[in-house]
Amino acid sequence: MAREKPVPRSQRKAINRGTIRSRNDDTVKNISVGLMDIDATIMFYFNNVIKPMVEENGETIKVPLMYSNPERWSMIQKNGYLVDNKKQLIIPLIAFKRTSIEKDTEMSVDKLDPKQPKLFYTFQKKYSEKNRYDKFSVQQGLNKTRELYTVGVPDYVNLTYDFVIWTSYTEQMNAIIEKIIWSEGAYWGEDGRFKFRTSIDNYTDASEVSVNSERLIRTNFTVTLRGYLLPEEFNNVVTTQKALTPKRILIGDDVSLNLQDLVPGDDGRDVRITVAQQGAGGGGLENPLTVSAGTGVSIGGAGTFDGSAAKEMTFSIGQDVATTSNVTFNQMQIGQNSFVISERDDGKAQVDKDWVVLGNVYARSYIVSSSVTHMTQSFSSGSTIFGDTLDDTHQITGSLIVTGSLSVKGSITQDGVSHDDKFSYLRKSFVKKSNSVTAATASFNAITASAPSGMTATSEDDFVFFINGQYMEHDALTIQQVSGIQFVLKVDADSIGYNLESDDEIIAMGKFNS
C-alpha cells in the first residue's frame, strides 16, 4: 500500500494549542446522542413514568415493554400476536419498533464542513478541580478558573415508532391508553439526561380476536418523536472541546500579542501580555522611520523619526484637491501605454486613444466629425437626431429592427428602386375584355405592367381569367405581350377541356399598366 506524501510545513494548518488539552481527568466526557439513546428514552419513560399496569384476578401486573427486532416484528405483522417458546400467548404486552427517520427541515443546521463544524453551543461546568487548592479569600487579583465545553450543534430529526398493545380485556386496554394519552405531547426521557418531545396522531381502537380459545384485545398507534443526533466522534473530529478561563492577566514589557496568548497554560492560572522593547540605547525605536519627499510632493520637516521626541511633518502637493476644488493638470497620462488626456488650442479636451465605455455616455450634443464604422450599444431613452440637413447620409450595415412606428418624410428606395414605384405596382389591378377570340387564343388591347427591380417578374399568376363568367384554371393558360398594345392569352384546349369560340366573352383582371 502506497504511503501518503508528507505535507510541507508551509502548507500545514496552524495548531491552536489552547484547544489541545488532556481530557483524562475530566468527569465530563464527549457529549453524544445516538439512535440507541433515543430508543432508551422511550423505554425509560414507559417503564418509569407511564408505568403501564393491569388488574387481573385481584393482582396488579406490570405490563412488559419489548423492543422488537426484525424477526419478532415480522411475526407480529404476520400473526397479530406473540407467543413464547412453549407456544403460549404473551399477554399483556407492549411491543414497539422504530420505523422511519426523517430530517427535520424546520430546524435545519448547516455545518458547512462535517470535519470542521462551525456551529457550537458553549456551556460552563459548575465546578473545576483546578480551583481545589486555591484560597480566594486570601489571594488578591486571582479569579476562579472556569471550565468551558464547546459542543457542536446536533442534527434535528423526526423519528417514527410503531406500537402494539395486547391485553385480555377492554378495561385493561383502556387503563393503559388513558395513561399514554395523558403523557402525549410531553417531553419523554430521563431527568438530567436527554428528553424529546413526542406526539401521537391517532389510535387504531381495540380489535377483538380469538387466539387458541383465548381472549385478545389489540391497539395500534404511532409515536412521532422530534429528536436530535450528535455522534461522539466524526472521523477523528471531536465534537466536544474543553477550554479554561485564566485566573489573572499580567501586562509586561516584552514584544507582541497574539490571540493564542490569551489562552492560559495547563495550570489555567496566568496569561501574560507584553509590549515591544526599545532599541539598544533605550532612547528610541529599534527600527527608526524615515520619511522623504517624492515626485510632486513636498514634506515640511521630512527626516527620520526614532520615537525619542515628537516630530511634525506636513505633506503638500501644490494645490487643493478637495471634492469642491478646481484641480488643474497640464496633461494627464494613465496606464503603461501612454493614454494621454490633454487640452487643445481651441479649449477642447483631446484623447489620443480609443475609448471603451462599459457604462452609459450622457452628452448634451453628440457630434461625429468623421464616418462611424459601427455601433455596439443602444440608446436607452430620449429622442435622438442623426444629421441636420437633407444632404446628410447615414449608412447601416446589417439588420434594422424598429419597435414602434416608422415615419418617413420622402421616398424610400431599395437597390436603386423607389418604394413608391413598388407600392404603385402592387396597387395595380385592372379589368380588360377580349376583343378577339379564336379556338386557342384571346387577344386584349392592353399592356402588361412591368415589375420594378427586385420584385418577381409579371406572369400569368398575376392575372385571373373568366370565360362567360366562369373561372379559367391557370394550369392551362399562358400569356404573352405582343409588340404594341396587344396582350394575348393562349389556352391549352386538351388541359382545360374545351375550345374557345369567337362569341365567347373572356374577362382578364390583373397587373395591366392601366
Is pLDDT of 66 > 50? Answer: yes
pLDDT of residue 25 exceeding 70, the answer is no
pLDDT of residue 13 exceeding 70: no
Provide the pLDDT for residue 182: 93
Which residues belong to CATH 2.40.10 in the chain? 422-510
Beta strands in 136-238 (DSSP E): 147-152, 155-167, 187-189, 195-211, 214-229, 233-234, 237-238
Give residue 44's pLDDT: 93
Mean pLDDT of 340-360: 81
Mean pLDDT of the chain: 78
Tell me phi and psi for residue 279, to 5 degrees.
-70, -175
The answer on pLDDT for 186 being more than 70 is yes
Which CA distances in Å does 280 have to 190, 286, 461? 68, 7, 110
End-to-end CA distance of the chain: 100
In CATH terms, the superfamily for domain 35-117+153-229 is Myoviridae tail sheath stabiliser (3.30.2000.40)
CA distance linking residue 313 with residue 291, whole number of Å = 9
pLDDT in tens, 297-322: 888 888 888 777 788 888 888 888 88
Please tell me whether the overall predicted TM-score, pTM, comes out greater than 0.85 for this model.
no
Q: Can you tell me the mean pLDDT for 326-332?
A: 76
pLDDT category at 279 given cuts 50, 70, 90 is: very low
Query: Distance between CA atoms of 488 and 113, rounded to whole angstroms?
Result: 91
On whether the CB atoms of residues 460 and 479 are closer than 8 A, the answer is yes
Higher pLDDT, 342 or 181: 181
With the C-alpha atoms ordered 425, 426, 427, 430, is the resulting torsion angle positive or negative?
A: positive
* Cα distance between residue 447 and residue 510, in whole Å: 11
CATH 2.40.10 fits 422-510, yes or no: yes
Could you tell me whether strands 65-67 and 93-103 are parallel, antiparallel, or unpaired per DSSP bridges? parallel
Instruction: Report the DSSP beta bridge partners of residue 96.
Output: 67, 163
In 255-297, at which residue ranges do the beta strands (DSSP E only) sit?
Answer: 270-273, 289-291
All CATH 3.30.2000.40 domain ranges in the chain, comma separated:
35-117+153-229
| Segment 239-255 mean pLDDT | 70
Beta-strand runs (E) in 410-482: 413-414, 417-418, 430-433, 436-437, 441-445, 463-467, 470-471, 477-482
In the predicted structure, residue 414 carries a pLDDT above the cut 70: no
Tell me the pLDDT band of 374, cut-offs 50, 70 and 90.
low
Contact in structure between 18 and 260 (CB atoms under 8 Å): yes
Selected residue with higher pLDDT from 473 and 30? 473
